């Protein structure tokens, strides 16, 4: 709730603002004897109740819900990601998709490393791998390689 006092011309006005489900009711009270007035949330107009009192309803935008931040994807360090050489990952990606992170195979394989959805999820990915950033695809491929070696890529991993 926000309350402010305004003065002028031998009159003080107190403003009370209360948020009501995406709107704010504003009530003003003239201290020169006028009774307090409040506008109901269902009214959507500015009303003038006299020369010294004015009531209005103002729309207040609802705050956007905060999206959980995705964990930071580790950057290559000393030519490796999670202990897997970037050269090894680049070789697998070149063979699997021509290095295209948006590649889609009709058989149900997606992204630079042609993940299927269950394998992608097993290394912490969510959604469609081909829609993930290239850095995330590299990271998740490195995690998979660190767990299972080249076996997830029987043609391109050897």
Domain count, the chain: 2
**Helix 86-97 / helix 134-148 crossing angle, nearest 10 deg:** 110
Do 97 and 135 belong to one domain? Answer: yes
Give the burial class of 17: count Cβ atoms within 10 A of its Cβ; 0-12 exposed, 13-18 middle, 19 or more buried.
middle
CATH number of the domain to which 124 belongs: 1.10.530.10
Assign 3 to helix, strand or coil.
strand
* 73: in domain: no
Q: What is the pLDDT of residue 62?
A: 80
Same domain, 87 and 140: yes
Q: Which domain holds residue 92?
A: 80-148
d(CA 61, CA 75): 38
Looking at residue 52, what is its pLDDT? 56
The answer on 93 and 54 residing in a single domain is: no
Q: Which pLDDT does position 74 carry in this prediction?
A: 84
Position 64 scores a pLDDT of: 83
Residue pLDDT tens, the chain, 158 long:
444 444 444 444 444 555 444 544 444 444 444 433 443 444 444 444 455 555 666 677 888 887 766 668 888 889 999 999 999 999 999 999 999 999 999 999 999 999 999 999 999 999 999 999 999 999 999 999 999 999 999 998 76
Spell out where 60-137 has E strands. 80-81, 84-85, 104-105, 109-110
């Amino acid at each position: 709730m926000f309350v402010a006092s305004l003065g002028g011309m031998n009159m003080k006005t107190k403003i009370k603002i209360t948020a009501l489900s995406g709107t704010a009711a504003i009530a003003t009270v003239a201290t020169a004897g006028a009774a307090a007035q409040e506008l109901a949330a269902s009214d959507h107009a500015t009303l003038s109740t006299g020369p010294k009192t004015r009531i209005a309803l103002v729309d207040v935008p609802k705050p956007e819900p905060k999206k959980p931040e995705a964990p930071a994807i580790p950057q290559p360090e000393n030519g490796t990601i999670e202990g897997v050489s970037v050269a090894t990952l680049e070789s697998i990606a070149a063979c699997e998709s021509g290095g295209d992170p948006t590649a889609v195979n009709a058989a149900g394989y997606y992204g630079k490393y042609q993940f299927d959805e269950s394998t992608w999820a097993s290394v912490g990915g969510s959604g469609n791998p081909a829609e993930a950033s290239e850095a995330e695809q590299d990271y998740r491929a490195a995690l998979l390689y660190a767990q299972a070696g080249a076996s997830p890529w029987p043609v391109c991993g050897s």
